[in-house]
Structure 1
Amino acid sequence: MSRWIEIFIVSLKLGLTSFGGPVAHLGYFYEEYVKRRKWIDEKGYADLVALCQFLPGPASSQVGMGIGLIRGGVVGAIISFIGFTLPSSLLLIMFALLATTYDLTDAGFIHGLKLVAVAIVADAVLGMGMKLAVGRKRLALMLLALAGVLIFDHPLAQVGVLLLAALFGLLLFKVEPQSGQPLAIHVSRVWSISALILFFGLLVATPILATVATGNVQLASIMYNAGALVFGGGHVVLPFLNQALVPGFMDGTNFLAGYAAAQAVPGPLFTFATYLGTVISGVSGGLLATLAIFLPGFLLVIGVVPFWDRVRMNKQVGRMLIGVNAAVVGLLLAALYDPIFTSSVETGLDFFVAFGLFCLLRFYNQSPLRIVLLGAVIGMVLSGIGLA
């Protein structure tokens, strides 16, 4: 019990202080878990990071779950998730309740937050593209993915694009298998197989439920489906959720305002789902959406650990992931265009502000928190002088 309390306190501390997105989170985790507490050695931490980047889902949160798993078993993984996710979830629930209690659609700071979303996603597209869409073949896959989701405006279109990208990756690329020592995490086969059965069972069921169910069942189905199919981190969940929720569940203005607000809080960007669930169905909807979007990542960490060493030696898997990662950049680029740019940039001044925020983020190394606050202030100023 004392070990579980310790896991919760440490992960809660990280959840309160880990600003800056997934890459920054991994740095905080390294300082806390590897250097300070020595719960895992450097080689084990590197292997765990590699596993979580290989899996779909929120990579930094999955690393935290994995360390909780090492320290306190499956219960430790759950406690680590709760501690790291709780602060940002509570903050976004409060923001969502404020947005639904008061009509903030025309508020100046909301317009500023929409311009912040343009800057942040543009920065994410550029950064990911420079790593994942280099070379003619990968660039071609990115463009095909972009065309596919722009032409076929349906949530399942993105799933089809990723499957085709995996097939093309298998056919087009060569890759050397990864090597290394066995991952320093031990989970019983019973737990792992049960987690994988549940993961794939829900993966088959949720797209069907998302189209035929109503209310919170439909909301949970959409969130699980998004969490199970997102490669590339928190930003990539944006196009999935936008196509599934706007305009059926909420308008684009509230959607983008919540996305920008999620940049300003510490912890995982996937808690954007908490905001969306709260806007759609109150606090209970926010909690349900949070659990649903993180559940597939949790199940995969538990389920894949015993098989990871065999999987990372498989050349076919590596080739498919190259194709998937290139396509992910195309999906995010499509989201940058619609809904983010089309619903946020209305004037030349808007474009100037969005581009200026992008430059501060990309070239002047300003933190996302500062960009969010600055964008909100600029929005209020422009609204006050009648320019927004």
Structure 2
Amino acid sequence: MSTKDGRDTRARDIFGAFLRLGLTAFGGPIAHIGYLRHEFVTRRGWLDEVRFARLLALCQFLPGPASSQLGFAIGLHRAGLRGALAAFAGFTLPSALLMLAFAWLAPRLDGGPGSAAIHGLKLVAVAVVAHGVLGMARTLLPDARHALVAVLAAALVLVVASPWMQLGVVAIGAVLGWLMLRPSARPANAPDNSVAPGGARLAALAFAALLAVAFLVPVSGGPSLVAIGAAFVRAGALVFGGGHVVLPLLEASMVAPGWLDADTFLAGYGAAQAVPGPMFTLSAYLGAQVGGPVGALVALLGIFLPGFLLLWAVLPSWDRVAAMPRARRAVAGVNAAVVGLLAAALVDPLWMQGVGDWRDAVIAAVGFTILLAGRAPLWTVAWCVLASVGVGLAVA
């Protein structure tokens, strides 16, 4: 057990909680935010809605994998560096191992029970994200102006089909919040002191040094371990929005120099859509293709490390900035925009790609109702949905 501030939470408990999400969190980075909120705000109470929203706003602003950074920050909040590393390992390990085993698993996932399971977990993601949208809207959209920012954000993301629009609506939300929203109440919880100022400065220096070395390594040439690490560091440090936005950077690093052919690259991208956890674990597959198991590890660490270092460097200052009235207005706008982002993700791709007919809609609605009642854990919802999909296939 842990105290209310969670400072005595064991790393193995954090690892177990994130491992469960790493095994079941389908739906992409925006959907993962819904899973993280349900697990650590609603179910476990490891942090309150205000801190979750502040951490989420920071992760949306920084380059790197937003959902993985958010998990890293939650682990850091609970148990310092050990908790952050446990959160990263638990959330990332399942999909990384699956991507390494893709060549053997792909035929078995082509039709039959494998496809049914993936389809069912997509419906779980629909239910979880719908529940997350409702819960965050209740807390983060206290009046019509906040709701207007959320609606505008959702509309822009749905109309302008560009991954960069996600970053754009976050910036628009900050500007609109600063101009038109009332400042949110000063956070009642104490600032997060899990990162000391000295540690933050060291993280900033490490990030700058890592990026400088990565850009000094020639882009051309063979896929040595140093070149692999540099390529994935550059991708992890420069991508805003995470998820699919990283694909052009990785393709330029892997296909253009002739390390991989386009078909092999796209096969890995397709597999990344079929596994739970962060899509950045595509790096494990790509690294293994050009450098074996060691190459996979180098690529995996290379793509995640810059975002984690930058988060560690900025987190103490972010808490101080978030306490300022003008900054709180901007953060309130960002939070409203994030609700809109989550709502847009619920429509497309989750609903559009996950719900095929009225039976899928009913199954997703039942899962949402179970979550709304608050009487069943997420794994129970997942098994109910998978059983419903299995029965539906059996009688089809």
TM bucket normalised to smaller? 0.5 to 0.7
3-state SS of the aligned residue for 1:324? helix
Deviations 1:50-84 (A, max 9, x none): 97466325445324325654xxxxxxx2x433233
Q: Is residue 163 of structure 1 aligned with residue 168 of structure 2?
A: no
CA contact under 8 A between 2:117 and 2:386: conserved in structure 1?
yes
Q: How far off is 1:286 after superposition?
A: 7.5
Q: How far off is 1:183 after superposition?
A: 5.7
Q: Which runs of 5+ in 1 are unaligned?
A: 1-6, 32-41, 70-76, 207-213, 230-239, 263-271
CA contact under 8 A between 2:230 and 2:302: conserved in structure 1?
no
Distance (whole Å) between structure 1 residues aligned to residue 124 and residue 52 of structure 2? 29
Moved more, 309-318 or 9-18: 9-18
CA contact under 8 A between 1:142 and 1:330: conserved in structure 2?
yes
Task: Sort the Cα spacing of 1:362 and 1:29 in 2 relative to 1 into closer, same or farther, 3 A.
Answer: closer
Aligned to 2:388: 378
Distance (whole Å) between structure 1 residues aligned to residue 43 and residue 365 of structure 2? 29
Q: Which runs of 5+ in 2 are unaligned?
A: 1-6, 22-34, 60-65, 215-222, 252-264
3-state SS of the aligned residue for 2:196? coil
Moved more, 172-181 or 47-56: 47-56
Q: Aligned residues, how many?
A: 330
Distance (whole Å) between structure 2 residues aligned to residue 351 and residue 311 of structure 1? 43
Task: Sort the Cα spacing of 1:280 and 1:122 in 2 relative to 1 into closer, same or farther, 3 A.
Answer: farther
Q: Is residue 84 of structure 1 aligned with residue 93 of structure 2?
A: no
Q: How far off is 1:376 after superposition?
A: 2.6
Deviations 1:111-156 (A, max 9, x none): 2122222112211211212222231111111111111111221121
Q: How far off is 1:292 after superposition?
A: 3.3
Q: How far off is 1:17 after superposition?
A: 4.4
Aligned to 1:346: 356
**Alignment equivalent of 1:127, drawn from 119, 129, 135:** 135
Task: Sort the Cα spacing of 1:50 and 1:279 in 2 relative to 1 into closer, same or farther, 3 A.
Answer: same
3-state SS of the aligned residue for 2:10? helix
Deviations 1:301-344 (A, max 9, x none): 34442x46642441111110010111111111111111111112
CA contact under 8 A between 2:284 and 2:297: conserved in structure 1?
yes
**Alignment equivalent of 1:241, drawn from 240, 243, 246:** 243
Aligned to 2:196: 187
3-state SS of the aligned residue for 1:55? helix
Distance (whole Å) between structure 2 residues aligned to residue 93 and residue 384 of structure 1? 32
CA contact under 8 A between 1:168 and 1:323: conserved in structure 2?
yes
CA contact under 8 A between 1:109 and 1:375: conserved in structure 2?
no
Deviations 1:29-61 (A, max 9, x none): 989xxxxxxxxxx9xx99987974663254453
Aligned to 1:236: none
Aligned to 1:321: 331
Percent of paired sites with the same residue:
22
Q: How far off is 1:172 after superposition?
A: 0.6
Aligned to 2:303: 292
Q: How far off is 1:364 after superposition?
A: 4.7
Q: How far off is 1:171 after superposition?
A: 0.4
Task: Sort the Cα spacing of 1:198 and 1:149 in 2 relative to 1 into closer, same or farther, 3 A.
Answer: farther
Q: Is residue 337 of structure 1 aligned with residue 347 of structure 2?
A: yes
Q: How far off is 1:384 after superposition?
A: 3.1
CA contact under 8 A between 2:76 and 2:84: conserved in structure 1?
yes
Deviations 1:224-281 (A, max 9, x none): 566x76xxxxxxxxxx5256559995699855643xx44xxxxxxxxx2365444665
CA contact under 8 A between 1:170 and 1:316: conserved in structure 2?
yes
Q: What is the identity, as a one-letter code, of the residue corresponding to 1:120? A: V
Task: Sort the Cα spacing of 1:28 and 1:133 in 2 relative to 1 into closer, same or farther, 3 A.
Answer: closer
3-state SS of the aligned residue for 1:351? helix
Task: Sort the Cα spacing of 1:352 and 1:220 in 2 relative to 1 into closer, same or farther, 3 A.
Answer: farther
Distance (whole Å) between structure 2 residues aligned to residue 15 and residue 95 of structure 1? 18
Aligned to 1:209: none
Q: What is the identity, as a one-letter code, of the residue corresponding to 2:139? A: K
Distance (whole Å) between structure 1 residues aligned to residue 298 and residue 42 of structure 2? 28
Task: Sort the Cα spacing of 1:51 and 1:114 in 2 relative to 1 into closer, same or farther, 3 A.
Answer: closer
Q: How far off is 1:10 after superposition?
A: 3.4
Over the aligned positions, Cα root-mean-square deviation in angstroms equals 4.5
Q: Is residue 365 of structure 1 aligned with residue 375 of structure 2?
A: yes
TM-score normalised by structure 2 residue count: 0.66
CA contact under 8 A between 2:118 and 2:274: conserved in structure 1?
yes
Q: How far off is 1:365 after superposition?
A: 3.0
